[in-house]
Structure 1
Amino acid sequence: LIGHMWAVNDGAISPDGRTIVSASEDSTLKVWNAASGQELWTLTGHLRGVNGCAFSPDGTFIVSASADQTVKIWDVATGRPRLTLKGHTGPVHSCTVSPDSTLIASASNDNTVRVWHNQSGELHLTLTGHSGSVLHSAFRPNGRQLLSVSKDNTLRLWDIHTGQLLTVLRVDGALSDCAWHPDGRQLVAVGPRGVYFLELKL
């Protein structure tokens, strides 16, 4: 898939497997037909590079995270922006959507994760506690907790309804990404020093 002017930072596939979205340093996202490779939309509006993107599990919208300190929500059917989420005070590294597609989490260089309501764009929670940039977050498959990973060498698990910090797991290096096993107990985190497989008891 050729079309971006600068480096591509992230990509995602729609739940039905028919559509791909790519996020680029050229400040745009592009939406592609997965079967033909045809470009369907170019999503413009961010003022700096786009670091992350994700489809909602229901397949109706795309979220994007940018170095311009914002998160945007885009309509998949039209390619038009629905909402711009503002509040971070540093570049936003990544974004993810809850299993029921109602909440969006954004991880930022300002050491926080912010959780937003998809429909209204209102801020639901600001999760504070990391002492370094938060590079990624992931909703637990049950939708009730959120995992975040940071350059501060920790993984943190949060209650998504109250914002309570449930546990802190410390490793021997900075972390840049994380994902849950479908069973909701095992998880993987990655960073420059390696890959970490962990199991949560709660």
Structure 2
Amino acid sequence: MPGENPTQITAPVISIQSDWDDVIRRPNTEVWVACKFRGQPSSQGKIYSQGLSSEGIPRVTTTDGFSVHGISRNTIQVNHESGNICIFVAPFSTFTGIHSKSVKSLDATSGDLCVSVCTENKLQIWDTRQGLLRRTLEGHLGDVYKCRFFPSGLVVLSGSADMQLKIWSAETGQCPVTLRGHTAAVTDMCIVDKGRNIISVSKDGTAKLWSCGEASCLATLVELGTTINSCCLGVANNKMQLAAPEENPSEHEVGTENKILLLGCEDGTVHCLAVRGRQNLFSKSHSSAVNCVTILSVDNFVIGCQDGQILLYDFEKPTEPVYCWYESNSAALCLLPFKEAGFFIGKADGSCVYHQLPARNSHERCHNVRVQLTGPDCDPVYDISFDGTYVYTSCRDAAVRKYDMLKTVSSLGSVD
């Protein structure tokens, strides 16, 4: 990125065998581990299992500069002599009976429900406690790219290659509202506040604001000459100069006064819009397609790129990234802000990593500590969701995985 000099975090990455949690509980077995810098050969090692202790914890030995400093049923902390540390978290549950093809999108609620969709175009609502299918939502004429719950947890929004958005009752499976107006596939969407309005983006290069109650398009917020891959809605900070709208908004436009919309595009651009004023606050170009964007706070946002770069920006100075995580060339596919202290990034190589945000103007020790969700064996992770207790991922191998993350993330400050 010519002209940009972000602090680039290029520490070596520790990897582990995808089914380590199962293998390591059996005596006289081995699990491979590796450590590598991007673009360089990896150093290999082994974790040898000697069976379970009387407390049911695996007893292990290691080789080639690796060491294990903590292990439980679902987590293992692996240290490398380079000084780097990775905490690997295995799934709490793995759901393989919901879909039989790649799971492209999902969203989970605190009410123990999940909506997910696969490449067979099966849009399913199911129970996250036992993995029981509740109902199938049928009606889209093309592949569904994205599905989300409204804040109530009782209504589902979906966007499809058929250029339509549909609003469904999670309780009955009925679809009372279909929104039409895009001229190409709908790629992503945001729900404004409680859901009287929604925003969608499309391969047609537009972002549209909709009234759910009126089933109508209130405005086209922007028209770009490129596919919009991702969008995220946030609240403007008090340093942003938001212009008043040129025309009085419709009475059906609710809750957009202080909202900003972040867009990630196929041509490598990122755009930030003031929703109510239809104002372009800034645009930024990158050398690779921007596949995913998320707003972390009123101060920061993160983007994930096709070339593998993950860039942290400050809204106060969006011309240059603050940090760049560039661990591999594998495409970044999805982002999830988590507990105001960091974010998850899912990538095409099957990795799903939690990055803790560094403090402003400092290099914290946590830069060398990664938390990685395990399970996929090099299959892309397409989407991530958090229900307030568990993190869920959707993957090309047709599985949805459920992880218990709260204790792991909260303990990062004490990692040795």
Q: Equivalences for 1:32-181 in 2 at 5 Å? A: 36-56=89-109, 58-168=110-220, 169-181=222-234
State whether residues 123 and 138 of structure 2, in contact with CA within 8 Å, keep that contact through their aligned partners in structure 1. yes
**Could you tell me how far 1:36 is from its partner in structure 2?**
4.6
Q: Which stretches of structure 1, 4 residues or more, deviate above 3 A after TM superposition?
A: 33-36
Instruction: Measure, in 1, the Cα distance between the counterparts of 2:140 and 2:100.
Output: 15
TM-score normalized with structure 2 length:
0.39
Q: 1:176 to 1:134 in 2, by over 3 A?
A: same
What secondary structure, in the 3-state scheme, does the structure 2 residue paired with 1:93 have?
strand
What letter corresponds to residue 186 of structure 1 in structure 2?
A: I
Q: Which of 192, 197, 202 is matched with 2:266 structurally?
A: 192
Instruction: Measure, in 1, the Cα distance between the counterparts of 2:130 and 2:100.
Output: 21
What secondary structure, in the 3-state scheme, does the structure 1 residue paired with 2:176 have?
strand
Q: 1:83 to 1:43 in 2, by over 3 A?
A: farther
Give 5+ residue unaligned stretches, structure 1.
4-32
What letter corresponds to residue 165 of structure 1 in structure 2?
A: C
What letter corresponds to residue 199 of structure 1 in structure 2?
A: A
What letter corresponds to residue 121 of structure 2 in structure 1?
A: Q
Instruction: Measure, in 2, the Cα distance between the counterparts of 1:162 and 1:109.
Output: 23
What secondary structure, in the 3-state scheme, does the structure 2 residue paired with 1:79 have?
coil
Instruction: Measure, in 1, the Cα distance between the counterparts of 2:111 and 2:190.
Output: 17
What letter corresponds to residue 52 of structure 1 in structure 2?
A: S
Higher-Rg structure is: 2
Q: Deviations over 1:31-89 (max 9, x none)?
A: xx799523413142434322111112x34211112222231111112111111101111
RMSD between aligned residues: 2.2
- Report % sequence identity: 26
TM-score normalized with structure 1 length:
0.77
Instruction: Measure, in 1, the Cα distance between the counterparts of 2:175 and 2:261.
Output: 27
Give 5+ residue unaligned stretches, structure 2.
1-15, 20-73, 76-87, 237-255, 278-416
